[in-house]
Structure 1
Amino acid sequence: MNPLKIIKYGKYFSESRFVAFATRYGKKLAFVQRAVVLFLCLRDQDTPKYVKAVIAGALGYLVLPIDIVPDTMAALGWVDDVAVLGIAFKIANRYIKTSHEEEAKKLFPFGH
């Protein structure tokens, strides 16, 4: 998926929706910790706006109940979500701080 296409899902992102998602799936899905790292990077004032737009789009896609591959399909349902998070991680990588990763581990020790 093109990073510019990911940005359009940013309108579905909100902190409350993300926190609800992370709380619901945090102990069930290993990639939630990585999503929390992106969330913390998004909230960091040092992160550039274009990176924040990509992160918001990826997290919006994650919390959106309608996906390319429905999340209700066993293990396959989360593959598209993980792929979108991977793209966002690649773009945000240079702005992710050690403090983001440490805080995510404190909040959600499951996964890495």
Structure 2
Amino acid sequence: MNPFKIIKYGKHFTNKRFMSFASHIGKNLTFLRQAVVLFLCFRDPETPKYVKAVIAGALGYLIIPMDMMPDAVAGLGWLDDLAVLGVAFKVANRYIKAIHHEKAKSWVPFGKDSL
């Protein structure tokens, strides 16, 4: 997936909507910690704007209920979201710091740190 196509979903992303999504979904998503790592990287003032745009697009895609494959489809519904997060991780990899992983681990004690 092209990172520039992901950016268009940034209009659906806000800090408040992401935190609401994260608290609502909770332990149902094994990759929630990775999403939180991206969220913390997004909030870091040292992260470049183009990386923030890709992260906002990926997180926006994650929180909207209607996407390429509806999330209600058992097992398969989250695969497209996981792919979009993977692209965002690849773009943001240089700017993700150890502190982002540590904070994400304290917020979401389950799951893995990276995709």
Corresponding residue of 2:42? 42
- Are positions 1:92 and 2:105 aligned together? no
Partner of 1:51: 51
The superposition leaves residues 38-73 of structure 1 with CA deviations (integer Å, 9 ceiling, x where unpaired) of 000000000000000000000000001111000000
Please provide the CA RMSD for this pair.
0.5
What is the TM-score of this pair, normalised by structure 2? 0.96
Runs of 4+ with >3 A deviation: none
Conserved 8 A contact 1:26-1:33: no
Q: How does 1:67-78 map to 2 (within 5 A)?
A: 67-78=67-78
**1:21 equivalent in structure 2:** 21
User: Shift of residue 15 of structure 1?
Assistant: 0.7
- What percent of counterpart residues are identical? 66
1:93-108 counterparts in 2 under 5 A? 93-108=93-108
Listed as ranges, the gaps of 5+ residues in structure 1 are none
2:79 maps to amino acid: V
Q: Which residue of 2 aligns with 1:82?
A: 82
Q: Does the Cα contact within 8 Å between 1:26 and 1:110 map onto a contact in 2?
A: no
Instruction: Quote the Cα distance in structure 1 between the aligned partners of 2:94 and 2:18.
Output: 23
TM-aligned CA deviation for residue 26 of structure 1: 2.4
How far has the Cα of 1:27 moved from its partner? Answer: 1.3
TM-score (structure 1 length as normaliser)? 0.98
* Number of residue pairs matched by the alignment: 112
